[in-house]
Amino acid sequence: MGYTIYEYLCFFMIYAFLGWVTEVIFQTIREGHFINRGFLRGPVCPIYGFGLLLVIHFLEPLKSNITVLFIGSVVFTTLLELITGFVLEKLFSIRWWDYSKEKFNLNGYICLEFSIIWGLACVFVLNIIHPLIYTFVTFIPEEVGFIAVIICSVLFIIDTILTVFTILKFKSKLKRLSQIGDKLLEFSDGIGKHISDETLIVADKTDRLKEDMYLEKLAFKELSEERKDIIENYLMKFRYLSYLKTHPKIQTSKYRDLLDEIKENMKKRKQ
């Protein structure tokens, strides 16, 4: 069946929203509370929209052959998830999903279990859900549908721009804090080496050694407290960290420990 661009846009918006709803339900059951698993702030998961468009465009003619449809759906959705996860991490150094703990995974981007789930879901959608969605789209007067699509598209673009800006700013702050952490480690190693050198050569300079140790520990404490202050009273106040509040599952391999520390601070502030 051939579709118009207008119909494809409608399908994308609807399936992106339904995908978001599915993720929210799944995560609520799994975690016991709301977690926004989408890339954007709004109630959409673009990867679901794109994934279903690919399956609809290429595989709908084969939907009568369940086996071919299932295998094709597994291939399409798995490749999309792999490419999307890889590209997003390379661009932003952040992961929105991680299958590292699942069996038969590939670098945490994809895993066998969910590939099978996506395949089964696509078979269900194409044979049961999509005919209903298509009927709904054709039922809406085109004038009304076009206005709705335009509004949703504008909001989608704005959301994407704001989200990218937020993530880039967040990434820059993580990088800055990581640099401070490296300086702390370097400073700590310097203190240790200095104390070690002084200990080896001083027996009659005990008072001087104690004084040096006190001053260096004081400096280290000040630097540590500065870093803590940056996290608790500076970084935590940035508006763009609201993205982390609504996307608590995002992770970064580059700044994993630092991001975990920030999340822990967020939990403490809630208590």
Asked whether the beta carbons of 198 and 205 are under 8 A apart, the reply is yes
> What is the pTM for the complete model shown?
0.75
Q: Indicate the SS3 state at residue 192.
A: helix
Rounded distance between C-alpha atoms, residue 87 and residue 46, angstroms = 14
Tell me 237's DSSP state. G
Per residue in 14-42, pLDDT (tens digit) is 999 999 999 888 878 877 777 766 678 88
Between 75 and 253, the more confident residue is: 75
Strand (E) or helix (H) holding 110:
strand 110-111
b/e per residue, 140-167, with b = 16+ CB within 10 A?
Answer: eeeeebeeebeebeeebeebbeebeebb
pLDDT of 87 higher than 80: yes
Check residue 234 and give its pLDDT.
46
Model confidence band, residue 263 (pLDDT cutoffs 50, 70, 90): low
Q: Which of 50-64, 96-110, 146-160, 165-179 has the lowest mean pLDDT?
A: 165-179
Partner residues linked to 39 by β-bridges: none
pLDDT in tens, 210-261: 555 544 555 555 555 655 555 555 455 454 455 666 666 677 766 676 677 6
What pLDDT score does 181 carry? Answer: 64
Is the confidence at residue 194, as pLDDT, over 70?
no
- Per DSSP, 105 falls in state E
